[in-house]
A and B are shown apart, each in its own frame.
Chain A
Amino acid sequence: MTETRLMVLEQDGQARATRLRDLVGRVAALGWLEGGTSRAVVHVGSCGRSALAVETARALAAALRVRAPGLRIDALDAAASGSEWNGLGRLSIDRAGAVVVRGPRGVALHVPKLWFEPFFLITVAAVHPDRRWRIGGVLQAQAEILGHLNPGAPTGLLLSEAHRLGASDLAVACGTHAGTGDWWVASPSDVLAEGAVARAAGIDPRDLPGVRTIARHELVASWEAVQGASDVAPDLRGVAAGSFGATVLAAREQGIAVGRRTIEDVGLVARNLRKVPQALRRRLSARAGKRKSA
């Protein structure tokens, strides 16, 4: 039996509340709400945030609460207004609650201290066109956390590190189609959820800039699940931004990163060059001292 890794649901003319109940029921039946931890965090992506994303996140939080009454559930929703998450704890991300980790390429990044604790993470993202990533979805929502802690860091780095260090246990992408209404794509894999949305938007997932960024560092999941799901996925053609703009922005980011590294390297070289005369003087005076003593 093949393990289900992706689930797609459309509104099909029913009430949103009804379909949200269906979504939660199916996700639970697939075992995707089994966290095995005493804490859960429900994260709503800020970019493109919609009422549907918030309602979806609240429905999933409510389901978690029913399944495990003792579970501590916190909402991470930077764009929320005061009373939207009544009844749940609210998490905020700031530098005071962060530590710096060094990635495999030696790049230091601030990450929330919370990431060193066990918790179940659900990320809900409202899918929207994004000039850099073509599609703004779950991967971008995950990267927002690091973006908040590391302003100015290259977005590609943030996206791949957010996936590597803090990928969601359940990723839900959602949106509202002008013709067919609400839709949801859910998966325990953030990359698969993103890939399914890309496929529905008529893009080969492997060509999606976010997936390509991740694929530079790891073998990404097999796309068979995405292929199958695309038959039932909503038609999202038009939701993605153009590939030319994304390529230009990626090149610009790359250029800025190379420029920064060059400036740093030149600074280091200059500092070391300044030490050369001193070092020579020390060497020469040491030699002169030796000759005298001889």
Chain B
Amino acid sequence: MTPLRFGIVGCGAIVTLHQLPALRRCPSLQLVGLVDRDHEWAAKVARRFGVPAAHDDYRQLIGKVDAVLIATPNTTHAAIACDLLGQGIHVLCEKPLATTGEEVERMLAAAARGDARLMTGQCLRFSPQLEMLKTVVDAGWLGPVERVSASIGGPYEGVACRTDFRRQRALSGGGVLMDLGVHVLDLAVWIAGRAPAHVEYAGSFASGWEVETDAEVGLRFPGDGQALLQASFSTPLGNSFTVRGSRGWARASLYVPTELTVFAEEARICRRAGMQTLHLVDRNMYDAQIAHFCRAVATGEPFRVRDAEVRATIGVIDSCYGRLAA
């Protein structure tokens, strides 16, 4: 298989800490260039990671790459992705894919026009404990999903970042719900296997922020399923994801990839011994994500993050921010 010629647009903390090391380890691609508005910074990152070229405009990648990772501030995703997808360049775009449902539709249309593929980088879906959680739910060990509860976040001061775009609505497009909440929102939609029919939302703002710093979302899925999701830039939360079914429950820490706790009341193993902790093989989720992206582009297999799921997730954010009502 010929390696994909790969470019990176945006060189923030997520790229230098996680994505670039994973991209360098991936044998299915060849890094040809990276882009940052700050050319000096781009050149520095390129030197550090051995990337041959550094640019200050993503258009300079056109004709040189087969695929890109977009990791710029949220409100810029749609314009950059539409441009590149229109040129037939496959796009892996950091979460959130877009800041509104309307942008999502534009991006999907651009992908269809350019005969290119677009995947959202929902890295947690590739973390072993959450992959196993999905397997457990799909295998029916817990019975039909009745309730999902999840929390993510902690004081913003602890977040690794190169710029402070998260505080500015013009760049972030939303607050903690858009930035961190989208992780658990995406997982809830993925695990439930359907889009929610009803959304409730409460958010609060800390001083100095243009966007909400704490968010709580309640979802009701068609049938009986519910989800309660919390995200915060101000308070240390549990950073866990729990699924309760009619016949059991499973809980994963979002950041401990090697463990999943399961209790299934009809399972032989739980009958006498109670809940069980599954011990999983550690694997870097960014490595798994990029390997999946490259394989899916090469073989045409569906992406793990489906378009319908992205529509549902961004649709919830739209509802929360009251855009649909407007």
Contact = CB atoms under 8 A, between A and B. Distances in A.
B279 interface: yes
B268 A100 contact: no
Nearest to A37: B266
Nearest to A101: B276
A49 to B, nearest CB: 23
A164 B276 CA distance: 12
B269 A101 contact: yes
A100 B278 contact: yes
B273 A99 contact: no
Contact of A116 (B259, B267, B277, B280): B267
Given A116-B139, A117-B141, A101 B268 contact: no
Contact of A117 (B268, B272, B273): B268
Contact of B278 (A37, A101, A117, A166): A101
Interface in B120-149: 132, 136, 139, 141
B264 A102 contact: no
Interface string A101-125: 1100000100101011111010000
Given A118-B266, A165-B269, A102 B141 contact: no
B140 to A, nearest CB: 8
A50 B186 CA distance: 55
B262 interface: yes
B280 A115 contact: no
Contacts of A100: 278-280
A167 interface: yes
A166 B276 CA distance: 13
Contacts of A167: 272
Contact of B277 (A102, A115, A119, A165): A102
A288 to B, nearest CB: 26
Contacts of B136: 116
Most buried by A among B132, B267, B269, B280: B269
Nearest to B268: A115
Interface string B236-265: 000000000000000000000001001010
A119 B268 contact: yes
A146 to B, nearest CB: 12
Contacts of A117: 139, 141, 266-268
Contact of A164 (B139, B273, B278): B273
A116 B143 CA distance: 12
B279 A166 contact: no
Contacts, number: 51
Contacts of A121: 268
B280 A111 contact: no
B200 to A, nearest CB: 34
A166 to B, nearest CB: 6
Interface string A30-67: 00000001000000000000000000000000000000
A116 B273 contact: no
B25 to A, nearest CB: 24
A235 to B, nearest CB: 33
Nearest to A36: B266
A59 B171 CA distance: 72
Most buried by A among B132, B266, B268, B279: B268
Contact of A101 (B141, B264, B277): B277
B264 A164 contact: no
A101 to B, nearest CB: 5
Nearest to B280: A100
A100 B270 CA distance: 14
Contacts of B278: 99-102
B170 to A, nearest CB: 37
Most buried by A among B136, B272, B279, B280: B279
B20 to A, nearest CB: 25
A272 B154 CA distance: 30
B142 to A, nearest CB: 10
Most buried by B among A113, A116, A164: A116
A116 B272 contact: no
A232 to B, nearest CB: 29
Interface in B274-297: 276-280
A155 B269 CA distance: 19
A102 B272 contact: no
Contacts of B139: 113, 116-117
Given A116-B139, A116-B141, A102 B279 contact: yes
Contacts of B279: 100-102, 108
Nearest to A119: B268
A118 B142 CA distance: 11
A113 B141 CA distance: 10
A239 to B, nearest CB: 29
Contacts of A166: 268-269
Contacts of A119: 268
Interface string B290-306: 00000000000000000
Given A37-B266, A100-B278, A113-B139, 17 more contacts: A99-B278, A101-B279, A102-B278, A102-B279, A108-B279, A116-B136, A116-B139, A116-B141, A116-B262, A116-B268, A116-B269, A117-B267, A117-B268, A118-B267, A118-B268, A119-B268, A166-B268
11 contacts: A101-B269, A115-B268, A116-B136, A117-B141, A117-B266, A118-B267, A164-B272, A165-B269, A165-B272, A165-B273, A166-B269
What 5 pairs across the A-B complex have the smallest Cβ distances?
Answer: A118-B266, A115-B269, A100-B279, A116-B267, A108-B279
